[in-house]
Chains A and B, each alone.
Chain A
Amino acid sequence: MIQLLASKPFKILNIKIIVLILIISIFLTLPLWSSEYIISVFVLIFLYMSLGQMWNLLAGYTGLVSLGQQIFIGLGGYSLAVITVLYQLPIALGIIVGGVISILFALIISQPIFKMRGDYFTIGTWIVAECLAVFFSVWTYVRGGLGFNIIAAYKLSTTDIYYMAVAMGLGSIALVYFLLRTKIGLALMAMRDNESAAETLGVELYKTKLKVFLIAAFVTGLTGGLLYLSIAYIQPRASFSITWTVAMVFIVIIGGIGTIEGPILGAFFFILIKQYLYNYPGISMIILGTVAILTILIAPKGIVGTLQERYGFEILSIRRR
């Protein structure tokens, strides 16, 4: 037994667990020793991490390159606004309703959207998002283009929102990790590598894609609610803007598509660069675009993807041994 615990794999496992506990402890105690500004930056990091994980699950593992994930951010944000502003109901209910409405809407659009393949699917999802932006702009029930001031958000402190964001960010990582270790994960990885071969081995492509699309919609909807809890103001053009999905794509490309660690690193990079360039709005998008292009040229598999390929580096391994 002692020999077993002293063996190399066990030592690596122990180190991994210790590092993981250390990192989680830092995040959990952050509000106790850090400034409000740092806390608010980490709110964004964790929420974008969750968005990145979901986009990566779709594009990196399922081959569904969606440019319409802002649909669910908008629906999540508007659900929170309607529930808390119009009906004066609790914030938690608003966030959950956002997730549920996202999943229902994803189920409805999946029928026509899934008939499109490749680029057509990508453009189709974007068109749905644009249609929603237009619809919400004229829908009087949601106050059209005026939008909502989400007053309930002011009842919460930055620390409260921070802990919700931590739960969302770490929860999304755990969800993807455990999903990939299940039977669905096996199918997803097979589909990612070769769809036709996976199908001839009994993998049901449509059902598997649908399940992942619904899961991603639900989590993105919840995250959308939390994002608007921190922003506290919603209006249609911004909430259904493609900028959200562009951020997700950036995070996943920089970090490494098809890896769990990629979107974690990508979210840190994205938010830190964005914060640093906050005072240069004119050139921030140019710099972000340049960083993305350089990454694609130098390390096409992203930072984590390249490290994994060169050094076999894996923290959250989903390998079956």
Chain B
Amino acid sequence: MATVLDVQDIGISFGNNHVLKSLSLELKESEVLGVIGPNGAGKTVMLNILTGIMRPTKGQILFQGENITNLSTTERCRKGIGRTFQVPRPFEKMTVFENILVGSVYGDRKSEKEARVKALEIMELIGLTEKKGWFAGKLGLLDRKRLEIGRALASNPKVLLFDEVAGGLTESEVSDILGMVRMVKEQGISVIWIEHVLKTMREGTDRVLCIAEGRNVICGIPEEVMRSKEVHDVYLGADEE
């Protein structure tokens, strides 16, 4: 499988605070890469760097072989990098349909006529067809998360970045999200998925990367990573077993 995203030794500092010291990862086509780590490890900062919200002070990012380190957020979206936020950020005064339309019109650069057709398909995929005309601000947490995934899908991404998309959900809702991630993978989209809900990392990812203090700790098959001493030391705690 070809590499879609190649993150090479990126770091970011705010004054003397080195939030991300040295982080590298490779994401293959249609792969789901889970990212775990303690609070403050630099997971969300990493996503912000990948989407261009923050610029790294060192290292580079290659997307399908092209250096995108200095591209803007908008340009990266149009190249095919989509994301969701830790706390969902729907366009609250817009309807579900309009939210998805934004992704399709701007991210995928479709005409509004084409985008409408695509938006209807996506609403079907994420199970929000019946709430098409609802204002996004009136949606519950699970539906907001569904909408964020749908909106990102509408921009026709090759890579999707999920920031704690299962956080705050009940067990049955987490299963829903797992199903959606599988659906995304089946469409040939690669995923980087930050999560604290370990069940999702075990069941929904191909590999898991653990980071701590802004560095790679270990990366591999989920079960192996979860059982590793390094992960227990930095994240799960020594008394986990």
The chain A residues found within 8 Å of chain B, CB to CB, are 183, 186-187, 189-190, 192-194, 196-205, 258, 319-321
The docked-state distance in angstroms from the alpha carbon of A205 to that of B102 is 13
- B53, B73, B91, B97: the one within 8 Å of A190 (CB): B91
Decide yes or no: A199 and B73 within 8 Å by CB, A183-B105, A186-B98, A186-B102 being known contacts. Answer: yes
Task: Report the minimal beta-carbon distance from A193 to chain B, rounded to whole angstroms.
Answer: 4
Query: A-contacting residues of B (Cβ < 8 Å)?
Result: 51, 53, 73-74, 77-78, 82-83, 85, 89-95, 97-99, 101-103, 105-109, 112, 116, 133, 151-152, 154-155
Residues of A within 8 A of B116 (CB): 320
Contacting pair A203 B82 (CB below 8 A): no
The docked-state distance in angstroms from the alpha carbon of A276 to that of B53 is 52
Asked if B53 and A201 sit within 8 Å, CB to CB, the answer is no
Dominant SS among interface residues on chain B: helix
Complex contacts, A187 vs chain B, CB 8 Å: 102, 106
Contact status A200-B102, CB under 8 Å: no
Residues of chain A lying within 8 A (CB to CB) of residue B108: 202
Asked if B97 and A199 make an inter-chain contact with CB atoms under 8 angstroms apart, the answer reads no
**Shortest 7 CB-CB distances between A and B: which pairs?**
A202-B106, A193-B91, A202-B107, A197-B89, A202-B77, A194-B89, A190-B102
The distance in angstroms between the C-alpha atoms of A292 and B83, with both chains bound, is: 40
Residues of A with C-beta under 8 A to B78: 202
9 A-B residue pairs with CB within 8 Å: A192-B93, A193-B90, A197-B91, A198-B102, A198-B106, A200-B51, A201-B82, A203-B106, A321-B97
Bound form: Cα–Cα A186–B94 in Å: 9
Contact A196 B89 (CB under 8 A): yes
Q: Is A321 a contact partner of B74 (Cβ separation < 8 A)?
A: no
Q: How far is the CA of A200 from the CA of B91 in the complex (A)?
A: 13
CA distance A192 to B151 in the complex (A): 17
Given contacts A183-B105, A189-B93, A194-B91, are A201 and B98 in contact (CB under 8 A)? no
> CB-CB < 8 A to A189: which residues of B?
91, 93-94, 98
B94 touches A204 (CB 8 A): no
Taking CB atoms, residues of chain B closer than 8 Å to A203 are 74, 102, 106
A199 / chain B contacts, CB cutoff of 8 Å: 53, 73-74, 77
Residue of A nearest to B136 (CB): A193
Give the shortest distance, in Å, between B14 (CB) and chain A (any CB): 18
Contact B101 A200, beta carbon cutoff 8 Å:
no
Q: Check B92 against A201 for contact (C-beta < 8 Å).
A: no
Q: Is the CB of A202 within 8 A of B91?
A: no
Whether B77 contacts A201 by the Cβ 8 Å rule is yes
- Is there contact, CB below 8 Å, between B93 and A201? no
A193: chain B residues at CB < 8 Å are 90-94
Highest count of chain A CB atoms <10 Å: which of B92, B105, B152: B105
Q: Give A196 to B77 CA distance when docked, in angstroms.
A: 12
Q: What are the residues of chain B within 8 A of A186 when measuring CB–CB?
A: 98, 101-102, 105-106, 112
Chain A residues within an 8 Å CB radius of B51: 200
A202-B115 Cα distance, complex, nearest whole Å: 14
Q: CB-CB < 8 A to A319: which residues of B?
A: 95, 98, 133
CB distance from B139 to the nearest CB of A (A): 13
Closest A residue to B78 by beta carbon equals A202
A114 CB to nearest chain B CB (Å): 15
A residues less than 8 Å from B95 (CB atoms): 319-320
> How many angstroms from the CA of A200 to the CA of B154 in the assembled complex?
12
CA distance A319 to B133 in the complex (A): 9
Q: How far is the CA of A74 from the CA of B34 in the complex (A)?
A: 58
A201 close to B155 (CB less than 8 A): yes
Chain A residues whose CB sits within 8 angstroms of the CB of B91 once the complex forms: 189-190, 193-194, 197-198
Q: How far is the CB of B186 from chain A (nearest CB, A)?
A: 23
Contact of A202 among B89, B109, B112 (CB under 8 A): B109
Q: Which B residues are in CB contact (< 8 Å) with A197? A: 85, 89-91
| Closest beta carbon of chain B to A74's beta carbon, Å | 34
Known: A186-B105, A189-B98. 9 other contacts (CB 8 A): A183-B112, A187-B106, A194-B89, A196-B53, A197-B90, A197-B91, A198-B102, A202-B103, A202-B107
In the assembled complex, the Cα of A321 lies from the Cα of B94 at a distance in Å of: 11
Among B73, B85, B95, the most chain A Cβ lie within 10 Å of the Cβ of B73
Q: Which of B82, B97, B106 has the most CB of A within 10 A?
A: B106
A204 to B97, CA, bound (A): 21
Contact A202 B74 (CB under 8 A): yes
Enumerate chain A residues within 8 angstroms of B106, measured Cβ to Cβ: 186-187, 198, 201-203
For A192, list chain B residues within 8 Å (CB). 93
Complex Cα distance A190/B98, Å?
9
Can you name the residue of chain A whose Cβ is closest to the Cβ of B85? Answer: A197
| A200 contact from B77, B93, B97, Cβ within 8 A | B77
The CA of A205 and the CA of B53, in the complex, are separated in Å by 13
**Chain A residues positioned under 8 Å from B103 (CB to CB):** 201-202
Q: Is the CB of A201 within 8 A of B107?
A: yes
B155 touches A202 (CB 8 A): yes
Taking a contact as CB atoms under 8 Å apart, the answer to whether A200 and B133 are in contact is no
Q: In angstroms, how far is the closest chain A Cβ from the Cβ of B190?
A: 17
A183: B residues at CB distance < 8 A:
105, 112
Q: Are A320 and B105 in contact (CB under 8 A)?
A: no
B151 proximity list for chain A (CB < 8 A): 201
